[in-house]
Amino acid sequence: MNNLNLNNYGEFEALILYEAHCYLAEMIHVDFYEVHGTKPHQRAVFHNTLVYDLFIIKMVELISPSSITISGERKNFSIMDGMGWLCFKQYPKLRTLNKLRTSYTVFNKWLNEEIEISFWCALLKRKLTIKVERNKIINWSANITKHTPFRLGLVLERMSKIYKKNNIHLNELEVLATKDDLYQKIRDDVLAYHESYIVEMLGNVFYGLNLYVKYRSKQRKKIYLPIGLIAHNVKYPKSLKNDFYKELYSTTLAFKCYDDERILSYIPSTTKYLKMRY
């Protein structure tokens, strides 16, 4: 299957709610990190470098677009894009989504900001300085973590384009020669510096999404069955007819409504000193 094929935006909404909540619930969790310090000078401290790398990889999965078809129309959407669609296209006036709107906007703006980074390339014996959007270097870091050079052709090609954009002209071997030093700069410096703020922003997105899920869950009507059981009548999006996606939607409303404290206790109030560089 080349790309996901959805019949309508009701199915898209059901899929986004379920996948976004599941993904963020795994990331904003004690399995990855602990929050140290007192507000407003807190930090997210990851247990080790392996879980830190996994967190970055999962974040890239969250923000990377894929080709999908909705109502016969080809679109490029990431899970994060889907949450933006929910806020600004599907329900632009729904006040319950205000927290998610704000959190999504802050994170999306941060991702797309252009920053300047400099690093020393030992093999080329020169210092390189580039201006590049944060979302690009996060993507590079995750993919270099996951793959050997045999599977990094697309990343190296994108790196080459950024070098050219910054008037740095390197051949293919020279681009490859910069990989390890650039990766170390991104992973161990830029992203390590921002790790607490990244957790804070994603935590706020998760909190806003959970508020919306709880709002929809409360709209379910209880049905009292003769044998003493209680069922719920779910109010589905108007275009949602497919049984699989209806089950996905109802599962989200039934089992993904977290207490506020479950999420808020894992959102650091990041010290301003970890928001000043890069």
Residue 230 pLDDT exceeds 80: no
Predicted confidence at residue 71, as pLDDT, reads 95
Q: List, in sequence order, every residue forming a beta bridge with 39; answer none if it has no partner.
A: none
Predicted confidence at residue 226, as pLDDT, reads 57
108 and 213 in a single domain? The answer is yes
Which of 131, 157, 189 terminates a domain? The answer is: 189
Closest CA to 6 of 90, 65, 73: 73
Give the Cα-Cα-Cα angle 84, 198, 272 (nearest 5 degrees). Answer: 120
Q: How many domains does the chain have?
A: 2
In terms of residue numbers, what domain contains 268?
A: 4-113+196-274
- Tell me the pLDDT of the chain averaged across its residues: 94
Which of 189, 218, 249 terminates a domain? The answer is: 189
Coil vs helix vs strand at 245: helix
For residues 61-75, average pLDDT: 95
- Separation CA 106–CA 185 (nearest Å): 24
pLDDT band of 137, cuts 50, 70, 90: very high
108 and 55 in a single domain? The answer is yes
Predicted confidence at residue 233, as pLDDT, reads 81
For residues 168-194, average pLDDT: 97
Tens digits of residue pLDDT in 101-132: 999 999 999 999 999 999 999 999 999 999 99
Residue 29 pLDDT exceeds 90: yes
pLDDT band of 1, cuts 50, 70, 90: very low
Single pTM value for the model? 0.94
Handedness of CA 193, 195, 196, 200 (dihedral sign): positive
Q: What is the DSSP string of 83-125?
A: HHHIIIIISTT-GGGHHHHHHHHHHHHHHH-EEEEEEEETTTT
| 72 Ramachandran zone, left/alpha/beta (phi>0; psi -120 to 50) | left
